[in-house]
Amino acid sequence: MRSHRTVSRLGIVGFGAFGRLIAEHLGGRFDILAFDRAGPPSAAPAGARFAGLAEVATCPIVILAVPVDAIAEACRAVAPHLQPGALVLDVGSVKLGPARAMLAHLPDAVEILATHPLFGPQSARDGLAGLKIALCPLRGTRAPRVAAFLRRALGLDVIVTTPEAHDREAALSQGLTHLVAKVLAGMEPLPNRVTTRSFDLLREAVGMVRHDPPEIFEAVTRGNPFAGDMRRLFVELAQGLDRELGPESVAAR
């Protein structure tokens, strides 16, 4: 990552909600080229220019901002155009699958850093400072420089980990959050007057993820290899608590 005085090109492959978020926060620091197979949006963030996939993939830094299940396809598409020494990153919500895909389909001459920004457009609406991002170095030596840039320039809390360790923790911290939010959304309308602070926080959590695209829910609940066991444990414990409480409350008798 260079100083903002020397502007480097940065390519974004996939220009959905998160691709646009990247462009908004890095547009003043990089010359951003973007590609999306759906075509240019009606209005791109300032500093972002749409180009063909081949041109975008020749940038020194290439971010694959595509759904987790499209990572392998994106890797195969950019591979012929990547320059030796380029840095390729993903931003997927799970890491084991994307890490394997990038190592399998990207050229040996490029560096690879798997990342997971632990936020989205909703949680980042007030800025990035203090939010978390996980980095999983896969190939190359630039991960410490990237971490330093993210801390210094964007104020992010950087967590360096491995794809497996990331997915094990995220199966609970993220997968379960989306699962509970999905259940609560199915119970709407939720009360908004007689509420506790803890319930207000639950309702806030529902609001933060309810507009996420379906592929994010699929990734964190099915794409994470540890999510199924965590979900089954949660359901088992909830069913055990239901049996312990019995068919009705004392007050209802």
Residue that is last in its domain, among 120, 146, 161: 161
DSSP helix/strand/coil, 141: coil
Residue 3 — pLDDT band, cuts 50, 70, 90? very low
Among residues 131, 87, 92, 90, the alpha carbon closest in space to that of 109 is found at 87
Residue 28 — pLDDT band, cuts 50, 70, 90? confident
Count other Cβ atoms within 10 Å, centred on residue 223.
24
**CATH code, domain carrying 85:** 3.40.50.720
Using CA atoms, how far residue 66 sits from 37, 87, 105, 114, 237, in Å, is 10, 16, 15, 13, 35
| pTM strictly above 0.85 | yes
Q: What is the pLDDT of residue 125?
A: 87
The answer to whether position 247 is within a domain reads: no
Range of the domain at 151: 8-161
Q: Same domain, yes or no, for 70 and 51?
A: yes
Cα distance between residue 102 and residue 148, in whole Å? 23
DSSP helix/strand/coil, 143: helix
Percent of the chain predicted with pLDDT > 90: 77
The domain tally of the chain equals: 2
Cα distance between residue 163 and residue 216, in whole Å? 17
Residue 247 — pLDDT band, cuts 50, 70, 90? confident
Q: Same domain, yes or no, for 48 and 156?
A: yes
Q: What is the pLDDT of residue 25?
A: 93
Residue that is last in its domain, among 114, 130, 161: 161
Q: Pick the more confident residue, 178 or 143.
A: 143
| 123-150 mean pLDDT | 96
Residue 115 pLDDT > 70, yes or no? yes
Q: Same domain, yes or no, for 172 and 195?
A: yes
| 133-159 mean pLDDT | 98
Q: What is the pLDDT of residue 122?
A: 82
User: 144 with 119: CB under 8 angstroms?
Assistant: no
Amino acid at 72: A
Mean pLDDT for all residues in the chain: 92
Residue partners of 206: CB distance under 8 A and separation at least 6: 181, 184, 185, 190
Q: Same domain, yes or no, for 179 and 106?
A: no
pLDDT tens track for 203-242 = 888 888 877 888 899 999 999 999 999 999 999 999 999 9
Q: What is the pLDDT of residue 23?
A: 94
Q: Same domain, yes or no, for 37 and 82?
A: yes
The answer to whether position 222 is within a domain reads: yes
If you compute the radius of gyration of the chain from its CA atoms, what whole number of angstroms results? 20
User: 177 with 205: CB under 8 angstroms?
Assistant: yes
Q: Same domain, yes or no, for 151 and 177?
A: no
DSSP string, 140-176: SS-HHHHHHHHHHHH--EEEE--HHHHHHHHIIIIII
Q: Same domain, yes or no, for 225 and 110?
A: no
Q: Same domain, yes or no, for 131 and 28?
A: yes
The answer to whether position 3 is within a domain reads: no
Residue that is last in its domain, among 161, 178, 196: 161
Among residues 76, 86, 95, 90, the alpha carbon closest in space to that of 22 is found at 90
Q: Same domain, yes or no, for 14 and 63?
A: yes
Q: Same domain, yes or no, for 155 and 31?
A: yes
Phi-psi region of 12 (alpha: psi -120 to 50; beta: other; left: phi over 0): beta
Q: Same domain, yes or no, for 109 and 219?
A: no
The answer to whether position 2 is within a domain reads: no
Token readout for 47 is 């500093």
Q: Same domain, yes or no, for 223 and 131?
A: no
The answer to whether position 1 is within a domain reads: no
Count other Cβ atoms within 10 Å, centred on residue 7.
14
